[in-house]
Amino acid sequence: MVLVKTVEELKKNLKALRKKGSLGFVPTMGALHSGHISLVNQAVRENRVVVVSIFVNPNQFNDANDLKHYPRNLDADLKLLEPTGCDIVFAPEAREIYPEPDTRKFNFGPLETAMEGKHRPGHFNGVAQVVSRLFEIVEPGKAYFGLKDFQQLAIINKLVKMLALPVEIVPCDIIREKNGLAMSSRNELLSVEERNNAAFIFETLTKAKNLAGTKNVNELENWVKENINKNPFLNVEYFEIVDFENLQPVKSWGDKGKKIGCIAVFCGKVRLIDNIVLN
Protein backbone atom coordinates (compact mmCIF):
# COMPACT_ATOMS: atom_id res chain seq x y z
CA MET A 1 0.00 0.00 0.00
CA VAL A 2 1.42 3.35 -1.09
CA LEU A 3 0.45 6.76 0.31
CA VAL A 4 0.52 9.57 -2.26
CA LYS A 5 -0.41 13.20 -1.76
CA THR A 6 -0.23 14.75 -5.21
CA VAL A 7 -2.02 14.14 -8.49
CA GLU A 8 1.35 13.71 -10.21
CA GLU A 9 2.43 10.98 -7.75
CA LEU A 10 -0.92 9.23 -8.12
CA LYS A 11 -0.82 9.16 -11.91
CA LYS A 12 2.78 7.96 -11.86
CA ASN A 13 1.90 5.03 -9.57
CA LEU A 14 -1.26 4.17 -11.49
CA LYS A 15 0.49 4.06 -14.86
CA ALA A 16 2.07 0.69 -14.07
CA LEU A 17 -0.76 -0.66 -11.92
CA ARG A 18 -3.45 -0.17 -14.58
CA LYS A 19 -1.80 -2.94 -16.61
CA LYS A 20 -2.99 -5.42 -13.95
CA GLY A 21 -6.64 -4.85 -14.89
CA SER A 22 -9.79 -3.31 -13.44
CA LEU A 23 -9.50 -0.28 -11.14
CA GLY A 24 -11.85 0.19 -8.18
CA PHE A 25 -12.11 3.47 -6.28
CA VAL A 26 -13.42 4.29 -2.80
CA PRO A 27 -13.65 8.04 -2.15
CA THR A 28 -13.78 8.97 1.56
CA MET A 29 -13.37 11.96 3.84
CA GLY A 30 -11.28 9.96 6.30
CA ALA A 31 -12.03 9.23 9.96
CA LEU A 32 -12.48 5.71 8.66
CA HIS A 33 -14.59 3.03 10.36
CA SER A 34 -15.87 -0.46 9.58
CA GLY A 35 -18.40 0.95 7.12
CA HIS A 36 -15.64 2.42 4.97
CA ILE A 37 -13.57 -0.73 5.29
CA SER A 38 -16.51 -2.81 4.02
CA LEU A 39 -16.51 -0.67 0.85
CA VAL A 40 -12.75 -1.15 0.43
CA ASN A 41 -13.05 -4.90 0.98
CA GLN A 42 -15.74 -5.15 -1.68
CA ALA A 43 -13.63 -3.09 -4.08
CA VAL A 44 -10.63 -5.37 -3.45
CA ARG A 45 -12.77 -8.47 -4.14
CA GLU A 46 -14.07 -7.06 -7.41
CA ASN A 47 -10.97 -5.36 -8.88
CA ARG A 48 -7.29 -5.96 -9.56
CA VAL A 49 -6.28 -2.47 -8.37
CA VAL A 50 -7.91 -0.34 -5.66
CA VAL A 51 -7.45 3.33 -4.81
CA VAL A 52 -8.86 4.92 -1.63
CA SER A 53 -8.96 8.70 -1.37
CA ILE A 54 -8.99 10.61 1.91
CA PHE A 55 -10.02 14.21 1.38
CA VAL A 56 -12.24 16.45 3.50
CA ASN A 57 -13.90 18.44 0.74
CA PRO A 58 -14.43 22.06 1.83
CA ASN A 59 -16.86 22.71 -1.05
CA GLN A 60 -19.58 20.48 0.39
CA PHE A 61 -19.76 22.10 3.82
CA ASN A 62 -22.28 24.91 4.16
CA ASP A 63 -21.28 25.33 7.83
CA ALA A 64 -17.69 26.47 8.43
CA ASN A 65 -17.85 25.20 12.01
CA ASP A 66 -18.86 21.74 10.79
CA LEU A 67 -15.85 21.69 8.43
CA LYS A 68 -13.52 22.83 11.22
CA HIS A 69 -14.63 20.08 13.60
CA TYR A 70 -14.92 17.25 11.07
CA PRO A 71 -12.77 14.40 12.51
CA ARG A 72 -9.37 13.85 10.88
CA ASN A 73 -6.77 11.18 11.73
CA LEU A 74 -4.68 10.05 8.76
CA ASP A 75 -2.39 7.76 10.78
CA ALA A 76 -5.35 5.84 12.22
CA ASP A 77 -6.93 5.65 8.75
CA LEU A 78 -3.77 4.16 7.25
CA LYS A 79 -3.61 1.49 9.98
CA LEU A 80 -7.17 0.46 9.18
CA LEU A 81 -6.49 0.35 5.44
CA GLU A 82 -3.22 -1.60 5.62
CA PRO A 83 -4.80 -5.09 6.00
CA THR A 84 -7.41 -4.56 3.25
CA GLY A 85 -5.04 -5.03 0.34
CA CYS A 86 -5.80 -1.68 -1.28
CA ASP A 87 -2.96 -0.47 -3.48
CA ILE A 88 -2.92 3.32 -3.16
CA VAL A 89 -4.17 5.83 -0.59
CA PHE A 90 -4.56 9.27 -2.14
CA ALA A 91 -4.59 11.97 0.57
CA PRO A 92 -4.27 15.33 -1.19
CA GLU A 93 -4.41 18.90 0.05
CA ALA A 94 -7.21 21.08 -1.31
CA ARG A 95 -4.92 22.78 -3.84
CA GLU A 96 -4.35 19.41 -5.55
CA ILE A 97 -8.07 18.87 -6.08
CA TYR A 98 -8.85 22.50 -6.78
CA PRO A 99 -5.78 24.16 -8.36
CA GLU A 100 -8.27 26.82 -9.45
CA PRO A 101 -11.57 27.66 -7.72
CA ASP A 102 -14.28 25.28 -8.94
CA THR A 103 -17.14 27.52 -10.08
CA ARG A 104 -19.16 24.82 -11.83
CA LYS A 105 -22.89 24.75 -11.07
CA PHE A 106 -24.79 21.52 -11.47
CA ASN A 107 -28.56 21.22 -11.83
CA PHE A 108 -29.92 17.97 -10.44
CA GLY A 109 -33.52 19.19 -10.42
CA PRO A 110 -35.85 17.71 -7.78
CA LEU A 111 -33.15 15.26 -6.60
CA GLU A 112 -31.20 18.06 -4.92
CA THR A 113 -34.06 20.15 -3.52
CA ALA A 114 -35.53 17.45 -1.25
CA MET A 115 -34.40 16.52 2.26
CA GLU A 116 -30.64 17.17 2.59
CA GLY A 117 -30.73 19.74 -0.20
CA LYS A 118 -33.41 21.68 1.61
CA HIS A 119 -31.42 21.84 4.84
CA ARG A 120 -27.89 22.07 3.40
CA PRO A 121 -27.96 24.48 0.44
CA GLY A 122 -25.00 24.05 -1.89
CA HIS A 123 -23.99 20.73 -0.34
CA PHE A 124 -24.69 18.55 -3.36
CA ASN A 125 -23.07 20.97 -5.76
CA GLY A 126 -19.90 20.59 -3.67
CA VAL A 127 -20.28 16.80 -3.72
CA ALA A 128 -20.64 16.84 -7.50
CA GLN A 129 -17.57 19.06 -7.87
CA VAL A 130 -15.30 16.81 -5.81
CA VAL A 131 -16.61 13.47 -7.12
CA SER A 132 -16.33 14.53 -10.76
CA ARG A 133 -12.84 15.90 -10.10
CA LEU A 134 -11.74 12.69 -8.34
CA PHE A 135 -13.15 10.57 -11.18
CA GLU A 136 -11.21 12.72 -13.64
CA ILE A 137 -7.98 12.18 -11.67
CA VAL A 138 -8.34 8.48 -10.79
CA GLU A 139 -10.26 7.26 -13.88
CA PRO A 140 -11.82 4.24 -12.13
CA GLY A 141 -13.91 1.52 -13.73
CA LYS A 142 -16.00 1.15 -10.55
CA ALA A 143 -16.59 3.48 -7.60
CA TYR A 144 -18.07 2.39 -4.27
CA PHE A 145 -20.50 4.41 -2.13
CA GLY A 146 -22.50 3.53 0.99
CA LEU A 147 -26.30 3.49 1.01
CA LYS A 148 -26.36 5.47 4.27
CA ASP A 149 -25.93 8.61 2.17
CA PHE A 150 -28.88 7.60 0.02
CA GLN A 151 -29.60 10.99 -1.51
CA GLN A 152 -25.91 11.52 -2.27
CA LEU A 153 -25.89 8.19 -4.11
CA ALA A 154 -28.85 9.32 -6.25
CA ILE A 155 -27.02 12.58 -7.03
CA ILE A 156 -23.82 10.75 -8.03
CA ASN A 157 -25.73 8.37 -10.31
CA LYS A 158 -27.32 11.40 -11.97
CA LEU A 159 -23.90 13.11 -12.24
CA VAL A 160 -22.42 10.10 -14.03
CA LYS A 161 -25.28 10.15 -16.57
CA MET A 162 -25.13 13.94 -17.05
CA LEU A 163 -21.38 13.92 -17.73
CA ALA A 164 -21.43 10.53 -19.52
CA LEU A 165 -18.63 9.30 -17.25
CA PRO A 166 -17.31 5.77 -17.93
CA VAL A 167 -17.61 4.58 -14.33
CA GLU A 168 -19.98 2.09 -12.69
CA ILE A 169 -21.38 3.26 -9.35
CA VAL A 170 -21.62 0.39 -6.86
CA PRO A 171 -24.03 0.92 -3.92
CA CYS A 172 -22.98 -0.83 -0.68
CA ASP A 173 -25.07 -1.80 2.34
CA ILE A 174 -25.23 0.31 5.50
CA ILE A 175 -22.93 -1.05 8.19
CA ARG A 176 -24.26 -0.60 11.72
CA GLU A 177 -22.81 -0.60 15.21
CA LYS A 178 -23.98 -3.35 17.58
CA ASN A 179 -26.77 -1.11 18.86
CA GLY A 180 -28.06 -0.40 15.34
CA LEU A 181 -26.62 3.09 14.91
CA ALA A 182 -25.49 3.60 11.32
CA MET A 183 -21.70 3.85 11.24
CA SER A 184 -20.50 7.37 10.49
CA SER A 185 -17.32 9.36 11.03
CA ARG A 186 -19.48 11.82 12.96
CA ASN A 187 -20.22 9.15 15.58
CA GLU A 188 -16.73 9.85 16.96
CA LEU A 189 -18.00 13.28 18.05
CA LEU A 190 -20.71 11.75 20.26
CA SER A 191 -20.29 11.20 23.99
CA VAL A 192 -20.88 7.64 25.25
CA GLU A 193 -24.32 8.67 26.53
CA GLU A 194 -25.21 10.35 23.23
CA ARG A 195 -24.03 7.33 21.26
CA ASN A 196 -26.21 5.01 23.33
CA ASN A 197 -29.25 7.22 22.86
CA ALA A 198 -28.59 7.63 19.12
CA ALA A 199 -29.41 3.92 18.75
CA PHE A 200 -33.05 4.94 19.26
CA ILE A 201 -33.08 6.36 15.70
CA PHE A 202 -32.76 2.99 14.01
CA GLU A 203 -34.95 1.34 16.62
CA THR A 204 -37.72 3.75 15.65
CA LEU A 205 -37.10 3.31 11.91
CA THR A 206 -37.41 -0.46 12.33
CA LYS A 207 -40.76 -0.02 14.09
CA ALA A 208 -41.84 2.34 11.31
CA LYS A 209 -41.12 -0.36 8.71
CA ASN A 210 -43.44 -2.71 10.59
CA LEU A 211 -46.12 0.00 10.82
CA ALA A 212 -45.98 0.88 7.10
CA GLY A 213 -49.43 0.30 5.65
CA THR A 214 -51.18 0.35 9.04
CA LYS A 215 -50.91 4.15 9.20
CA ASN A 216 -51.16 6.51 6.25
CA VAL A 217 -47.92 8.06 5.02
CA ASN A 218 -48.38 11.39 6.76
CA GLU A 219 -49.37 9.71 10.04
CA LEU A 220 -46.29 7.49 9.95
CA GLU A 221 -43.99 10.45 9.25
CA ASN A 222 -45.45 12.31 12.24
CA TRP A 223 -45.26 9.22 14.46
CA VAL A 224 -41.53 8.78 13.73
CA LYS A 225 -40.75 12.43 14.44
CA GLU A 226 -42.79 12.53 17.64
CA ASN A 227 -41.41 9.22 18.89
CA ILE A 228 -37.76 10.21 18.39
CA ASN A 229 -38.27 13.70 19.79
CA LYS A 230 -39.46 12.16 23.06
CA ASN A 231 -35.84 11.21 23.65
CA PRO A 232 -34.20 14.25 25.31
CA PHE A 233 -30.92 13.62 23.45
CA LEU A 234 -32.49 13.67 20.00
CA ASN A 235 -34.10 16.30 17.78
CA VAL A 236 -35.44 15.38 14.32
CA GLU A 237 -34.57 17.79 11.52
CA TYR A 238 -36.65 15.86 8.98
CA PHE A 239 -38.16 12.47 8.31
CA GLU A 240 -39.60 11.96 4.86
CA ILE A 241 -41.01 8.95 3.06
CA VAL A 242 -39.98 9.24 -0.58
CA ASP A 243 -39.86 7.28 -3.81
CA PHE A 244 -36.75 5.08 -3.96
CA GLU A 245 -35.86 6.24 -7.50
CA ASN A 246 -36.75 9.93 -7.77
CA LEU A 247 -36.79 10.91 -4.05
CA GLN A 248 -40.11 12.69 -4.43
CA PRO A 249 -42.55 12.60 -1.49
CA VAL A 250 -44.87 9.58 -1.33
CA LYS A 251 -48.51 10.50 -0.86
CA SER A 252 -49.96 7.00 -0.50
CA TRP A 253 -48.75 3.43 0.03
CA GLY A 254 -50.57 2.67 -3.22
CA ASP A 255 -48.12 4.81 -5.20
CA LYS A 256 -45.94 2.77 -7.58
CA GLY A 257 -42.40 1.75 -6.72
CA LYS A 258 -40.28 1.14 -3.65
CA LYS A 259 -40.50 3.59 -0.78
CA ILE A 260 -37.74 4.65 1.59
CA GLY A 261 -37.83 6.63 4.81
CA CYS A 262 -34.94 9.10 5.13
CA ILE A 263 -34.08 10.92 8.35
CA ALA A 264 -31.73 13.53 9.79
CA VAL A 265 -31.47 13.87 13.57
CA PHE A 266 -29.39 16.06 15.84
CA CYS A 267 -27.92 14.17 18.76
CA GLY A 268 -26.61 17.03 20.85
CA LYS A 269 -24.69 19.11 18.29
CA VAL A 270 -23.93 16.15 15.99
CA ARG A 271 -26.09 15.69 12.90
CA LEU A 272 -26.79 12.05 11.99
CA ILE A 273 -28.56 10.63 8.93
CA ASP A 274 -30.08 7.22 8.28
CA ASN A 275 -32.70 5.53 6.12
CA ILE A 276 -34.77 2.40 5.81
CA VAL A 277 -36.60 0.76 2.90
CA LEU A 278 -40.26 0.52 3.88
CA ASN A 279 -41.62 -1.95 1.30
Strand partners, 241: 261
Instruction: State residue 225's pLDDT score.
Output: 98
- DSSP 3-state helix, strand, coil percentages of the chain (rounded to 5)? 45, 20, 35
Domains of the chain in start order, with CATH, are: 2-172 (3.40.50.620), 185-273 (3.30.1300.10)
DSSP H helical ranges for the chain: 7-17, 34-46, 64-69, 74-81, 94-97, 110-113, 115-119, 123-138, 150-163, 192-211, 217-229
**pLDDT value, residue 70:** 87
The neighbour count for residue 112, using CB atoms within 10 Å, is: 25
Q: Is residue 48 within 8 Å of 22, Cβ to Cβ?
A: yes
pTM of the model: 0.94
Q: Are 137 and 10 in contact (CB under 8 A)?
A: yes
* pLDDT by residue, tens only, the chain of 279 residues: 999 999 999 999 999 899 999 999 999 999 999 999 999 999 999 999 999 999 999 999 888 888 888 889 999 999 999 999 999 999 999 999 999 999 999 999 999 998 999 988 899 999 999 999 999 999 999 999 999 999 999 999 999 999 999 999 999 999 999 999 999 999 999 999 999 999 999 999 999 999 998 999 999 999 999 999 999 999 999 999 999 999 999 999 999 999 999 999 999 999 999 999 998
CA–CA–CA angle 15, 18, 24 (5° rounding): 125
Residue 38: predicted pLDDT: 97
Query: What pLDDT, on the 0 to 100 scale, is given for residue 62?
Result: 81
Handedness of CA 261, 268, 128, 35 (dihedral sign): negative
The burial of 122, by beta-carbon neighbours within 10 Å (0-12 exposed, 13-18 middle, 19 or more buried), is given as: middle
Query: What is the per-residue pLDDT for 213?
Result: 87
Which of 36, 69, 119, 123 is catalytic? The answer is: 36
Please state, as a whole number, how many other Cβ atoms lie within 10 Å of the Cβ of residue 212: 17
CB 72 within 8 A of CB 189: no
- Among this protein's residues, is 36 annotated catalytic? yes
- Pick from 113, 150, 152, 159: which is nearest to 132 by CA? 159
Give Dmax over CA atoms of the chain in angstroms: 58
